[in-house]
Chain A
């Protein structure tokens, strides 16, 4: 079997890390976080059902209080291909916008910084965001070209520059898409935070995050944006060679919660992926959230019966949930 260049570096890194972990045994397992985390799973067969009602119910089920807060909705807007479903569906964004305002948020903005495309607004137009979201031009921020401020300590870097709109929000809502990912295994609410990193500083693509390490960057961004909530659009997800070239896969759910690792672990279980084998979830588990199934309080639908295996690229076939 031949490996791609990135796989080769990953493999070399994994071997090195395994050796280090064996030597540095006291770092093997972080202490357990106390308590449990709530994750709400709402069934939604299509984008035409009452999504605002379902999101409102999910937010309430998770006990999130948003009254008076400045909320930033961060959808997953990557590229556009009319033949597949790369981006968070506009109906989910519109519903979340309505729900947060209805629940008393002082201000709700929408922001995204796509990793490959420079004309964010044109991309938002193709994805129907501009046409279907009321007041789009006054509430949407291109996070790639927002004003920035430094945040100290980001993995092995002394700082990272991040958009002021996101740093000044009281709550960042990761409106992610449920997709497989050809480098990370799965892209859900935590990986979606890559779009918070400004292209004007780090470029298109944001290769700095790959140099730091994809799992490390996912975990660090989740740590920095800890005042967050996740709403994962799994109504129609993507399987195979995601996050762009995969094929649509219906899971028929919205998954929500304030503990992003718990939300992503739940999504993985729905997708037939073992969250304990997803590197960034292993790293985040206990440090940033709970991924252990027994300690995730399921609200809304029960997980049993919701599992629908997402096809995995061969490099990630080992992630399949038993």
Chain B
């Protein structure tokens, strides 16, 4: 195990852990919530993950959302990952409950009533043309900004994991709308970019990394077959280690076995954690949701 694909990555993660229990994006820097949570998932069940959870718990705010780092003073999309990690740890107490409620209240700025009213008036006068359906609520990176693919995808995983513990109608409806939103912003080539299909009328292309992330959020959804074929093609062709890691995780959680390409361990802690999660013997099942 120590010299295996997974073992080398887990060892690198152990070495990169900060004294506060968190992980930085790059060794020697400040701890951030995102790499900390992925590293904690990769090392799930080990003392390093418990240390990380102690730090993560201290970053939850009164409103239930999590700040992205000690320095940043507002709640962030990474809250979804914290809820997913809490579920993976079997911790369903108030931090988990409050995190779920924050996710249920968070919505992209485009769904705000006054903005939709302005758009409706514009449409009525034939002044607005937009392909996106703004009735489909997704999640933003930061409150009061628009919703995008990545935060929506992570929120879907978190809420699907929370569903058995919080069987509310609101939760099921947000999951439905979130999935519809992802399908609504899918690029013509079949994959996803950050969340825009066109710009000034020209079609935009999808990216491998966001296609992988969207497929994790949509896992279990019908009609994913052709997209999984596209993901397989992207996986063979992409030069991005981060994209390879996300596509590998996406394939694994959607029931397709993938043997990750053995490459040198990255200096990028986030990529190392994602690669460890996607390893055949890695903890990708912690991102899997019940069908």
* Given contact pairs A116-B193, A201-B72, A145 touches B32 in the complex (Cβ within 8 A): yes
Whether B128 is near chain A, meaning CB under 8 Å from some CB there, is yes
Q: Report Cα–Cα, A126/B29, bound state, in Å.
A: 26
Within 8 A of A (CB), among B76-126: 76-77, 109, 118-119, 122, 126
Within 8 A of B (CB), among A118-164: 118-119, 121-123, 125-126, 137, 142, 145-150, 159, 161
Let me know if B68 and A119 touch, CB within 8 A: no
Q: Report Cα–Cα, A182/B200, bound state, in Å.
A: 7
B148 contact from A121, A150, A161, A207, Cβ within 8 A? A207
Whether B130 is near chain A, meaning CB under 8 Å from some CB there, is yes
B109 contact from A123, A201, A211, Cβ within 8 A? A211
Let me know if A142 and B25 touch, CB within 8 A: yes
Within 8 A of B (CB), among A184-217: 200-205, 207-208, 210-211
Whether B240 is near chain A, meaning CB under 8 Å from some CB there, is yes
Q: Which residues of A contact B126 (CB under 8 A)?
A: 2
Let me know if A211 and B144 touch, CB within 8 A: yes
Which A residue's beta carbon lies closest to that of B119? Answer: A5
Whether A20 is near chain B, meaning CB under 8 Å from some CB there, is no
CB of A32 to closest CB in B, whole Å: 36
Interface size class, chain B: 35 or more
Whether B278 is near chain A, meaning CB under 8 Å from some CB there, is no
Whether A27 is near chain B, meaning CB under 8 Å from some CB there, is no
Whether B268 is near chain A, meaning CB under 8 Å from some CB there, is yes
Among A117, A142, A210, A313, max chain B CB count under 10 A is at A117
Whether B140 is near chain A, meaning CB under 8 Å from some CB there, is yes
Let me know if A126 and B239 touch, CB within 8 A: yes
Whether A109 is near chain B, meaning CB under 8 Å from some CB there, is no
Whether B60 is near chain A, meaning CB under 8 Å from some CB there, is no
User: 0/1 per residue, B20-39, Cβ < 8 Å to A?
Assistant: 00001110011010100000
Which A residue's beta carbon lies closest to that of B122? Answer: A8
Among A5, A137, A244, max chain B CB count under 10 A is at A5
Whether A308 is near chain B, meaning CB under 8 Å from some CB there, is no
Within 8 A of A (CB), among B21-76: 24-26, 29-30, 32, 34, 68-69, 71-73, 76
Whether B150 is near chain A, meaning CB under 8 Å from some CB there, is yes
Let me know if B199 and A244 touch, CB within 8 A: yes
Let me know if B268 and A121 touch, CB within 8 A: yes
A122 contact from B145, B199, B241, Cβ within 8 A? B241
Q: Which residues of B contact A245 (CB under 8 A)?
A: 199-200, 202, 204
Among B34, B77, B207, max chain A CB count under 10 A is at B207
Let me know if B142 and A202 touch, CB within 8 A: yes
Q: Report Cα–Cα, A313/B129, bound state, in Å.
A: 17
Whether B191 is near chain A, meaning CB under 8 Å from some CB there, is no
CB of B58 to closest CB in A, whole Å: 18
Let me know if B142 and A315 touch, CB within 8 A: no
Among B129, B141, B210, max chain A CB count under 10 A is at B141
Let me know if B32 and A204 touch, CB within 8 A: no
Whether A12 is near chain B, meaning CB under 8 Å from some CB there, is yes
Which A residue's beta carbon lies closest to that of B115? Answer: A9
Whether B209 is near chain A, meaning CB under 8 Å from some CB there, is yes
CB of A112 to closest CB in B, whole Å: 15
Interface size class, chain A: 35 or more
Within 8 A of A (CB), among B254-286: 267-268, 270-271
Let me know if A119 and B202 touch, CB within 8 A: no
Whether B127 is near chain A, meaning CB under 8 Å from some CB there, is yes
Q: Report Cα–Cα, A185/B215, bound state, in Å.
A: 35
Which B residue's beta carbon lies closest to that of A116? Answer: B194
Let me know if B140 and A200 touch, CB within 8 A: no
Which A residue's beta carbon lies closest to that of B24? Answer: A147
B25 contact from A122, A137, A182, A200, Cβ within 8 A? A200
CB of B163 to closest CB in A, whole Å: 25
Let me know if B128 and A3 touch, CB within 8 A: yes
CB of B215 to closest CB in A, whole Å: 15
Q: Which residues of A contact B210 (CB under 8 A)?
A: 118
Let me know if B127 and A2 touch, CB within 8 A: yes
User: 0/1 per residue, A279-311, Cβ < 8 Å to B?
Assistant: 000000000000000000000000000000000
Q: Which residues of B contact A207 (CB under 8 A)?
A: 140-142, 145-146, 148
Whether B228 is near chain A, meaning CB under 8 Å from some CB there, is no
Whether B242 is near chain A, meaning CB under 8 Å from some CB there, is yes
Let me know if A119 and B127 touch, CB within 8 A: no
CB of B128 to closest CB in A, whole Å: 5
Q: Which residues of A contact B240 (CB under 8 A)?
A: 119, 122-123
Q: Report Cα–Cα, A115/B25, bound state, in Å.
A: 17
Q: Which residues of A contact B146 (CB under 8 A)?
A: 207, 210-211
Q: Which residues of A contact B127 (CB under 8 A)?
A: 2-3, 8
User: 0/1 per residue, B134-166, Cβ < 8 Å to A?
Assistant: 000000111011101011000000000000000
Q: Can you offer 6 A-B residue contacts whose CB atoms are under 8 A?
A: A8-B122, A142-B26, A148-B69, A200-B34, A207-B145, A211-B146
A interface residues with partner B (beta carbon < 8 Å): 2-5, 8-9, 12, 116-119, 121-123, 125-126, 137, 142, 145-150, 159, 161, 182, 200-205, 207-208, 210-211, 241, 244-245, 313, 315
17 additional A-B pairs beyond A2-B126, A126-B239, A137-B267, beta carbons within 8 Å, are A2-B127, A2-B128, A5-B119, A8-B119, A117-B209, A119-B241, A119-B271, A122-B243, A201-B68, A202-B142, A203-B141, A203-B148, A204-B141, A204-B150, A207-B148, A245-B200, A313-B200
